[in-house]
Each structure stands twice: as structure tokens, then as C-alpha cells.
Amino acid sequence: MKCECIPMVKRYCRREMDVAMKVSATPHGAGEARRRLRVLERELPESAYSSLRLLVSELVSNKPSHVGQAVADESLHLVIHTSEDGVRVELHDTEHARPERAQTAAQEELSRWDVVLLDELTSGWGILEDSASDVWFEILYDDPSS
């Protein structure tokens, strides 16, 4: 008797989910955000989940350098929404901070790196309306650029 193998296709629930969290704008806060993102690991395609973790880590840990803040322990509010088509992330300053000082050369370099990552790993990104520093990005599952 011949056994025919049916290839297994990994399926994702791709159900709508909302995840919200408040973390500090520090490397420690980035690690906390990554741990809390684990709830989405089986809900997203692997490449989307990997990109999400990297982008959240970078944006959370580098947020103070983007807005030139003197206080490195600022809290950030992350809102993540998943759907059948993709995932959208919004990163909000809890203090509604505006740039307080000019960026150093090192901070400008970090900002450029984050922009490169956003351009390469997302389907779209930008600054939220009525904000100087709140960021959004989207990763569409079927978009070859993300």
C-alpha cells in the first residue's frame, strides 16, 4: 500500500486582534515590548512577526533620540492591530513631547537607520496627524516589500 503525503501548509489565524501596552523608551522597554509581542507569534506570518519585533525594538529604544528628549525614561504607548491583511502599529508619546533640543550627530545617525528599516520592512509608515513625534507603520502580509 502506497502512502501519499499531503504537504502541510502552516496557516495563521489572521484574526483581528488588538494589543496595547505602555513601556519605557529605553532598551529595557524594548525588551519588555518584544516579550509582550509573543502573543502575536502564532497569529502572524513569520516574516511579518520578525519585522514587527525588530521595528518595535528599534523605535522604542531610540524614541528619545528622535525627539531630542533629555529624559530617557519617558513612557510610550504602543497600539498594535492585526487583521486578515496585515498589522498596524502606532507608537505614541505619553507626554506628547515636542523636540526640546537639536539632535547630536549620533542621534541623527540612529534616526536615519530607523527610517531605512521602516522603508525596507513596512508597506507604509509616517507621523500621525496632529503629532510631532507619534509614529505609525503597517506590514501587509502579501506585500513583497514587507
Pick from 116, 132, 133: nearest CA to 60: 133
Residue 60: exposure state from Cβ atoms within 10 A (0-12, 13-18, ≥19): buried
The three-class DSSP label of residue 1 is coil
pLDDT by residue for the chain (146 residues), tens digit each?
454 544 444 445 567 899 999 999 888 999 999 999 999 998 899 999 999 999 999 999 886 554 444 444 578 999 999 998 999 999 998 765 444 445 555 555 555 788 899 999 999 999 998 887 899 999 998 776 66
Domain covering 17-140, topology: Heat Shock Protein 90 (3.30.565)
